[in-house]
Chain A
Amino acid sequence: MGFLSVFDNLLYGLGVALTPVNLLVAVVGLVLGTAIGVLPGLGGTNGVALLLPLTFTLTPTSAIILLASVYWGAIFGGAITSILFNIPGEPWSVATTFDGHPLAKQGKPGIALTAAFTSSFIGALVSIILFTFFAPPLAELALRFGPPENFAVLLLAFATFAGLESGHPLKTVLMTLLGLLLSTVGFDIVSGRPRMNFGFVELQSGINFVVIAIGLFGLGEILLTVEEGLRLEGIRGRISFRDLWETWRLFPRYIATLVRATILGFWIGVLPGTGATPASFVSYGLAKQFSRHPERFGKGEVEGVVAPETAAHAAGIGALLPMVTLGIPGSPTAAVMLAGFFIWGLNPGPLLFTEQREFVWGLIGSMYIANVIGVVLVLTMVPVFAAINRIPFGILAPLIVILSSIGAYAANNQILDLWIMLGSGVAGYLFKKLGYPLAPLVVALVLGDMTEQALRQSLIMGQGRLSFFLTRPIALLFIAASAVLFLLPVLRGIRRRPARGAPRPVEAA
């Protein structure tokens, strides 16, 4: 596909995104997403999961625009709580608290917020441009993939977790395997026989991924939040024109940081499975390392806000690249969106580009539009969104539980799923407290069927010999890359040097 046709398609996509319905959907998504981002205990992943049932009645294009806009809104919104309340509204805005809150305490909340939103926007915009030009060739390449290549790419997705998660590598591997196992419950796709259901007929339709995600991320997160005792004492902040001018004047100085953070974030986002959270930490650490004044970091350095925010939003955009082109989610939030594809009757994968032009290019077009609207929205509406945190927890907690129940029920129209949701909530709480990462489990659960099918088809093609993979150069390349990633934790163990700027293990979201 040449450049011209990319421009053609992009113009077409912008046209799709600018239709009144899609524009409205994007604004609604952004407002909801920002609110979700502001609220601690309600994250982008379960925010998207909760809205999934509402998309049944929309066209697939409007549906994906809604969910993607929620994601962008949540990425913008997470910074508000981090800076004003010193509590990360989202896992990817933990790094933003390091310098954002000190700035706010020094009486410069407007500058911290402007810096966060502006850099988030720049990271997003540059990534969307990268996305626009990378996606079509990648999809074209992926069209030539057979089962062995698909399996190798999936393996790479799982290896990325093992290599990049900061926690215990064995725990990451275990959670991945557990997620894959959960996906085998129900029917065997090849032989058609029921399996792994422990004799329960209800389990024969399989375990719905949305139910598990809502339980793990939604209910589990509430339990963790109340344990820490939720008291929100914030600094009031609004953004004046002076703040805008004073912050934007500084930005030319941060060119190097912006470029580095965008490329890094986009790349980490594209890697299957990891999302905005690791990107923000790595970017913060790098900015500190490269800075001429590393001692100022943590005390209210504007660059310490710019670096993680740029990378987080760049990664959020990057995470959708493998989702659209390969059918592999780049982050847990993208995994939930991918679950939507099946509900809307779409087959995720490279064929989308040729068969669903409106869907794919409408999504890409809406990324441009939604992020422009989004940055204006958050810059002007900070006080309104910050006020959301004044909803008493006595109302908020039951409300989240009710919304979670609706989301979990609507995924499959099965009341039994509410109990599964509750169980996953408890499991999520225990797992998270004990350092077992949740993201690999969720992503593996979504990718399970695909992985099994690719592996079994490859084995059939090779008559049961694993050496068959050696005859497929592209697959071999991915397998080699996976092996390197699997070995990373081992190498790190030998060097025993904890990364700077990553004070506690936080997982991808």
Chain B
Amino acid sequence: MRTAEVGMAAALVVLGGVLIWQAVQLPIGWTPIGPGAGFFPFWLAVGVTVSAAGILVGRLRVQPAPRDRKAFIPTHAWRPLLAVFLPMVAVVALMNVLGIYLGGALYLAGYMWLVGRHRPLTIVLVSVLVPAALFFIFERWFLLPLPKGAVLESILYGR
């Protein structure tokens, strides 16, 4: 827990530094049109760095307490966490290629099969009907085109 807290504060100090560096690429002082473009971001970034440093120092000064030895992510939590997180990454990657509907359908089916352990019939029904319903709501009803990917585009519109 302590390692995670210290690590996060340290990472934020670094982030603040990087942001200061980004800000000083721009005029941060007074220019003919008033405060320069970098003025606001610069002082914000300074604030981020200072407060992160404050948190870091505060954390390091406190003596380690028993609760600090508790793991940041308890061992038993890793499995369910990864079981949700990895498919999340996969679906975003899939949606980049296959579009939201196909990518979403595959994700639903895969997740229900591997994690939810549902019956095949349920899996097929849900992973077909839900994206189909979404398609009608967004594409037809609300006329909001979502990315469909080359495959679905060619099936639907022959493009």
Contact = CB atoms under 8 A, between A and B. Distances in A.
B35 A456 contact: yes
Interface residues of B, number: 66
B92 A456 contact: no
Interface stretch (A4-12, A87-95, A169-177, A482-490): A169-177
A460 interface: yes
Contact of B84 (A174, A226, A392): A226
Main secondary structure of the interface of A (DSSP, over half): helix
Contacts of A170: 51, 54-55, 58
A458 B144 CA distance: 41
Contacts of B134: 402, 406
Contacts of B5: 434
A190 interface: yes
Nearest to B126: A395
B8 A401 contact: no
B112 A398 contact: yes
Main secondary structure of the interface of B (DSSP, over half): helix
Interface in B111-159: 111-112, 115-118, 126, 130-131, 134, 137-138, 142-144, 146-147
Contacts of A191: 31, 33, 36-37
B41 A184 contact: yes
A405 B73 contact: no
Contacts of B81: 223, 226-227
Contacts of A415: 95-96, 147
A56 B145 CA distance: 12
A418 B88 CA distance: 10
A174 B8 CA distance: 12
Given A174-B51, A196-B23, A392 B116 contact: yes
Interface in A444-489: 452, 455-457, 459-460, 464
B80 A227 contact: yes
B144 A53 contact: yes
A477 B67 CA distance: 43
A183 B101 CA distance: 31
Contacts of B25: 195
Interface residues of A, number: 58
A193 B88 CA distance: 36
A406 B92 contact: no
Contacts of A229: 77, 80
Contacts of A111: none
A168 B107 CA distance: 39
A173 B96 contact: no
Nearest to B113: A394
A145 interface: no
A394 B34 contact: no
A395 B146 contact: no
Given A173-B51, A174-B48, A180-B44, A193 B26 contact: yes
Contacts of B30: 464
Contacts of B31: 191
A11 to B, nearest CB: 32
A430 B73 CA distance: 10
A394 B117 contact: yes
A129 interface: no
B38 A226 contact: no
B59 to A, nearest CB: 10
A178 B48 contact: yes
B34 A433 contact: no
**Which 6 pairs between the two chains have the least Cβ-Cβ distance?**
A394-B116, A188-B37, A460-B34, A174-B51, A402-B104, A398-B111
Interface of A: 53-54, 56-57, 168, 170-171, 173-174, 177-178, 180-181, 184, 188, 190-191, 193, 195-196, 198, 219, 222-223, 226-227, 229, 392-395, 397-399, 401-402, 405-406, 409-410, 415, 418-419, 421-422, 425-426, 430, 433-434, 436, 452, 455-457, 459-460, 464
Interface of B: 4-5, 8, 12, 19, 22-23, 25-26, 30-31, 33-41, 44-45, 47-48, 51-52, 54-55, 58, 72-74, 77, 80-81, 83-85, 87-89, 91-92, 95-96, 100, 104, 107-108, 111-112, 115-118, 126, 130-131, 134, 137-138, 142-144, 146-147
5 contacts: A56-B144, A227-B81, A392-B116, A401-B88, A402-B100
Given A178-B48, A193-B26, A398-B91, 9 more contacts: A168-B55, A188-B37, A195-B25, A196-B23, A393-B116, A395-B108, A397-B111, A405-B104, A415-B147
